[in-house]
Amino acid sequence: MDFFNWIHSPEAWIALGTLTVLEIVLGIDNIIFITILVGKLPDEQRQRGRVLGLGMAMVTRIALLLCLSWIMHAEGTLFTVGHVDAKNKAVAERLIKDKTLINTTTDPVELKSFREAQKVQWRLISWRDVILLLGGLFLVFKST
């Protein structure tokens, strides 16, 4: 089968290892964010919120990687605007560059926001609030 030929390729294993390390390093912010939000839940819901939050983070991360992999391996044009064709690989490369740019430019903003958030008197938040925050924020910030 042609599908399993990558197993014998050292380049594929190096790429997989590099991607795994990057995903672990870049996923640490998810764990910190989940920890902060779960700490606001009532005691009896914290474990459930932690498991659900980490599960959602993992599922969205894998889904985004699969979409990027599909775009990179697809041949031809993804879409056409007027007379301009958006090629699959060009779109994927642009997404990767934009993600790097956004992550680089938002780091100081996140630190400032975190310091301001520490000053606020927090109340216990509801289960619905945690689901909406985790689901919405991970999709918005991790898909860019």
Domain region containing 125: 2-142
143: left (phi over 0), alpha (psi -120 to 50) or beta: alpha
pLDDT for the residue numbered 81: 67
- As for how many domains the chain has, the answer is 1
pLDDT in tens, 65-115: 777 677 666 666 666 667 666 665 566 566 556 555 445 544 455 555 555
**pLDDT at 45 > cutoff 80:** yes
pLDDT in tens, 9-44: 888 888 888 877 877 777 777 788 788 888 888 888
From 39, 13, 47, select the one nearest 118 (Cα to Cα). Answer: 39
Residue 52 CB-half CA count within 13 A = 16
User: How many CB atoms are closer than 10 A to CB 38?
Assistant: 21
**Which runs of consecutive H residues, i.e. helices, occur in 7-87?**
10-26, 28-38, 46-73
Pairing of strands 77-81, 84-87: antiparallel
User: Which token pair is 56?
Assistant: 């959602």
